[in-house]
Amino acid sequence: MSPALEDYLETIYLLVQEHGFARVKDIARARDVKAATVSIALRKLAELELVRYERREYIALSPHGEEAGRRVFTRHRLLARFFEEVLGMPAAAASEQACAMEHSLTDDAMNRLVRFFEFVGSCPNVVDSFRECQTALGPGCSPEQRNTSGACALCSEKEEDPQMSLADLKPGQSAVVTHVGAAGALRQRLLDMGILPNTTINLERSGPGGEPLWIRCHGARLALRRTEATVIRVRDEMA
């Protein structure tokens, strides 16, 4: 899928999340292009089985299309946050830069960027300490190498913040993600779902026997196994 098609998929995903539907004219307005141009892109996305599209009808995302759209949007948010909060770029410029880079951000690069934000949330002296931490532990340090607050071993002298796992929440409760204490494919899957540091998650309900856990994240309703929710560290929304 080309970057241009990914942009359309992201736009459709955002429209569906905001309004519950997407139309050609809405997409054209959001992308600042003509309706005919949107129709061409929609036909290509339909051929890839990412959207369901008929002329003069609402556009619906297939399950795979929703997953792909959320993946692009998640990368956009992460990059925009880095450019704005860390590098001090204006919000519009940060978003524009994120648009340019979101398509080429690899899973490894995303994972390392998320680790940086996890570090920022738990350690003082952000830049210098972060570089020292990465040198000492390496970017792939495991949850076992981190203390109970989620911080690296070099920051163990920091007063421990009261944290819990997502699995500890009760239905109706919300909390803010601090760390995703998973590795490999599971970690990447959770990150692609939009479960990133400083993200608010609401636990809506649990299934029979406590499985799965249904959560709300950036407007999307997602299902997690309890073992997956256990590795997601959160703090109280009001903390």
Burial (CB < 10 A; 0-12, 13-18, 19+), residue 11, is buried
Residue 102 CA to residue 110 CA, distance in Å, equals 10
Domain boundaries, the chain: 3-71, 164-236
Burial (CB < 10 A; 0-12, 13-18, 19+), residue 169, is buried
Q: If one looks up domain 164-236 in CATH, what number appears?
A: 2.30.30.90
Percentage of the chain beyond pLDDT 90 is: 63
By mean pLDDT, which of 85-89, 111-115, 156-160 is the weakest?
156-160
Q: Is the pLDDT of residue 160 over 90?
A: no
CA distance to 48, 182, 192, 203, per residue, from 200 (Å): 32, 18, 15, 10
pLDDT in tens, 35-60: 999 999 999 999 999 999 877 778 99
Same fold, 3-71 and 164-236: no
By mean pLDDT, which of 92-106, 107-121, 125-139, 175-189 is the weakest?
125-139
| pTM of this structure | 0.69
pLDDT in tens, 126-148: 655 655 554 444 444 544 445 54
By mean pLDDT, which of 50-59, 92-101, 130-139, 194-203 is the weakest?
130-139
Instruction: For the beta carbon of residue 219, count every other beta carbon within 10 angstroms.
Output: 13
Q: Which CATH class is domain 3-71?
A: mainly alpha
